Homo-oligomer: A and B are copies of this chain.
Amino acid sequence: MAHIIANKDKILMRIKKIKGQLSGIEKAIEDEKDCFKVLQQISASRGAIQSLMNELLNDHIKEHLGNHVSEEQRAQEIENITNLLKTYLK
C-alpha cells in the first residue's frame, strides 16, 4: 500500500494543524496584531509544512524506488522525483 495511504490519518492530522496555524495568522492580521508576531507564526507554519514535505519525500524514495517496484514504474518514479527535487531544492 502507498506510504501516504498507510499513514493517512497522521498526515491528515498534520495538514489540519497547519490549516489551523494559517487561520490563526488570518485572525492575527485581521486583529492588526504586531507584525513581528505574524512573522513568527508564518515562520512556524512554513517550518511545519517543510518538515512534512521532507518526511514524505523520504518515505516516497523508500517506497517508490524500492526493490518491489517494477522496472517501468521505477524509471517513471525516478523521472518524477528528480523533476520535483529541481523545483523543491532550488
Contact (Cβ within 8 A) B81 A61: yes
Looking at chain A's contact residues, the main secondary structure is helix
Q: How far is the CA of A77 from the CA of B71 in the complex (A)?
A: 17
Which one of B12, B23, B35 contacts A26 once the chains associate, using CB atoms below 8 Å?
Answer: B12
Cβ contacts under 8 Å, A52 to chain B: 42
Q: How far is the CA of A85 from the CA of B85 in the complex (A)?
A: 11
Assuming the A-B contacts A25-B15, A26-B16, A43-B53, are A3 and B35 also in contact, with contact meaning beta carbons closer than 8 angstroms in the complex? Answer: yes
Residues of A within 8 A of B (CB): 2-5, 8, 11-12, 15-16, 18-19, 22-23, 25-26, 29-30, 32, 34-36, 38-40, 42-43, 45-47, 49-54, 56-58, 60-67, 71, 74-75, 77-78, 80-82, 84-90
